[in-house]
């Protein structure tokens, strides 16, 4: 059974990575999908691959005009809006004392203001529909601190917090809001060097309980669940999809512990 049959979804940052995986999965589960991104060629290619149930619209999430346009096109083409997935994000790595104001503003503009503007422009259509779901993609770094990622971490804590506020504000209108917190994911952001999965796992993921990087489809499947009727009583929640990364800090086992605990 198609879990999103008859639903219409807008997905930002949908030209590649988790956004593209989410768009493909939603369409396979019966949804009409509107893909937004600044990467026009890639976004149009994903929409063409999905077929007639997909539409690409150029979207800079910092631009209110772009948000107004994508919501209008979604409702004109498919008649309504049921789901918003705020997925678009960037990162910035470096020492805190080297952080330039313009870099901080770019990270916060896309990750925080972009999410706010998406909600602002989607909510009237969701209210008109009488129900809806908003999924804001945060990060494990929205649940902890991370060395060298102060601007990104600040942005993802903000996404986590605003999601809870939105859940309160829009729950009375039948709109559910959830933040999803991926760990390391095998995308251009999570694996910028394009290393093999085996090399990435050996280098960076031995400390994660499942001892591997995640795949974009695994995040997409969680987003699908949240947006489906199976999650009808879930709102204001934060869901970590991180292979157990946020469960705690890995420590070597004590001498005499079973072999599988020796690391």
Could you give the residue numbers annotated as active site? 152
Match 């019966």 to its residue by tokens: 30
- Residue 88 CB contacts under 8 Å (≥ 6 apart), including other chains: 12, 13, 19, 36, 37, 59, 61, 110, 114
Map residue 242 onto helix, strand or coil.
Answer: coil
Distance CA 229, CA 94 (A): 41
Q: In what order do the strands lie in the sheet with 238-241?
A: 54-58, 32-37, 8-12, 83-86, 132-137, 175-182, 238-241
Query: Alpha-carbon dihedral of residues 51, 136, 207, 187, nearest 10 degrees?
Result: 30
Neighbours of 110 (CB within 10 A): 21
Helix ranges, 12-55 (H): 17-28, 40-50
Beta-bridged to residue 240, according to DSSP, are 181
Both tokens of residue 138? 């945060």
Both tokens of residue 226? 């949240």
Q: 67 to each of 33, 111, 160, 213, 247, how far by Cα in Å? A: 15, 14, 21, 32, 36
Contact 126, 166 (CB under 8 A): no
- Counted residue by residue, the chain has a size of 263
């Amino acid at each position: 059974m198609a879990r999103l049959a008859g639903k219409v979804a807008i997905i930002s940052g949908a030209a590649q990575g988790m956004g593209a995986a989410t768009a493909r999965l939603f369409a396979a589960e019966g949804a009409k999908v509107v893909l937004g991104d600044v990467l026009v060629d890639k976004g149009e290619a994903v929409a063409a691959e999905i077929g007639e149930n997909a539409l690409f619209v150029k979207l800079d999430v910092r631009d209110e005009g772009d948000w107004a346009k994508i919501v209008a096109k979604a409702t004109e083409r498919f008649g309504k809006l049921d789901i918003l997935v705020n997925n678009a994000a960037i990162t910035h790595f470096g020492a805190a004392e080297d952080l330039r104001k313009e870099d901080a503003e770019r990270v916060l503009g896309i990750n925080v203001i972009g999410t706010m503007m998406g909600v602002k422009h989607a909510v009237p259509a969701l209210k008109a529909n009488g129900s809806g779901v908003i999924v804001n993609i945060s990060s494990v770094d929205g649940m902890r601190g991370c060395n060298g990622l102060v601007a990104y971490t600040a942005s993802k804590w903000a996404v986590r917090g605003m999601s809870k506020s939105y859940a309160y504000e829009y729950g009375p209108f039948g709109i559910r809001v959830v933040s999803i917190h991926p760990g390391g994911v095998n995308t251009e952001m999570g694996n910028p060097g394009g290393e093999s999965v085996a090399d990435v796992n050996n280098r960076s993921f031995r400390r994660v309980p499942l001892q591997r990087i995640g795949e974009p489809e695994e995040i997409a499947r969680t987003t699908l669940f949240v947006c489906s009727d199976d999650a009808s009583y879930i709102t204001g929640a934060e869901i970590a999809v991180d292979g157990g990364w946020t469960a705690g800090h890995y420590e070597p086992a004590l001498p005499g512990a079973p072999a599988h605990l020796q690391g």
